[in-house]
Amino acid sequence: MDYSYLINRIGDHWKQKYGKKIFKIIMHGDFTCPNIDGTVGNEGCIYCNMKALEPYIDLEDNNDIEQHMKYLKERNGAEAFIAYFQDYSSTYPSHKINDSSSYLKQLYEKAVSHPDIVGISVSTRPDAVSKTELDILKSLDTDVTIELGLQTINESDLEWIVRGHTVKQFTDAVELISGYGFDIVAHIILGLPNETDESIIELARFINSGKINGIKIHQLTVLKNTRLEKLYNENNAPEILSENEYFRRLGILIRHLKKDIVIHRLYTDAPSKDLIAPLWCSNKTGLQDKIFKYFKENGIRQGSSVHTS
């Protein structure tokens, strides 16, 4: 089904930009996070379970890369790829590495060296990105996207999820990154304790007003082996959104996002083995269609509530 009239989807955006069907290939580096290594925190964000991420490609194994590309070409019609680093803060190498700048340079160069790779996307935190890493990415001479964790613009909720950074740090990082001409994708979470319909609209205006090109939207999700699991079991977590309520709040956000903001993700999915709640997000395939059906039935179009004066 063609849903491009409902939202500005990343797949359609890539098709327009590259004239090809693009897929991400998840690659692995030896990274850690300032919110885990003791720099700003030791235990990470309350929902963090990096082990629940999708499997990745081993960059040391060329055969692995070729096999995975072949699989995506045959199964999904992929024509080119974006190298994607998503684990921990992917600009922040583990302390086992002596020279982090050389490590990052070699790792990223290797990642984009395949002729079918058209760009690189790196997921990180506002306090884990500086000129050093951005200069290395710039030197690759390829399209660069930085995915930057924001999660919320409510400082109390940022504290509740123990993010270890402020909204100001996020906006400062956006300012720095935008100077390099890289695309910037904000990660956000719906369903945090202080969220209201008005705060969702405020969040959309915040995304619209800056130098942010895209957004990845997640629902608050309880994974096994996280501090959120403990809070949830003790009834100290906010109510986890039902499917209907998530769709409703998502609809508010989408209507208030400008049409040129590219939507990279509409919800989190998690493997059943790692998932506590909400259980409705374990059905990856059917869920996207359900969301679009909801949007259609309720007249939701990206940007339909954005008023320019």
**Contact footprint for ligand SF4 (CB under 6 A):** 33, 35-36, 44-45, 48, 50, 88-89, 125, 149
| Minimum separation from the CB atom of position 10 to ligand SF4 (A) | 21
Q: CA 12, 15, 21, 27: dihedral to nearest 10 degrees? A: -80
Closer residue to ligand SF4, CB minimum distance, 9 or 125: 125
| Minimum separation from the CB atom of position 208 to ligand SF4 (A) | 24
Closer residue to ligand SF4, CB minimum distance, 149 or 251: 149
Closer residue to ligand SF4, CB minimum distance, 11 or 193: 193
| Minimum separation from the CB atom of position 183 to ligand SF4 (A) | 20
Closer residue to ligand SF4, CB minimum distance, 47 or 182: 47
In this structure, how many other beta carbons lie within 10 angstroms of the beta carbon of residue 121? 23
| Minimum separation from the CB atom of position 302 to ligand SF4 (A) | 27
Closer residue to ligand SF4, CB minimum distance, 61 or 155: 155
In this structure, how many other beta carbons lie within 10 angstroms of the beta carbon of residue 89? 24
| Minimum separation from the CB atom of position 128 to ligand SF4 (A) | 8
Using CA atoms, how far apart are residues 156 and 169, in angstroms rounded to an integer? 15
Note every long-range contact of 104-108, with CB atoms under 8 Å and residues 24 or more positions apart, other chains counting: 104/29, 104/133, 104/136, 105/136, 105/139, 107/29, 107/59, 108/83, 108/136, 108/137, 108/140
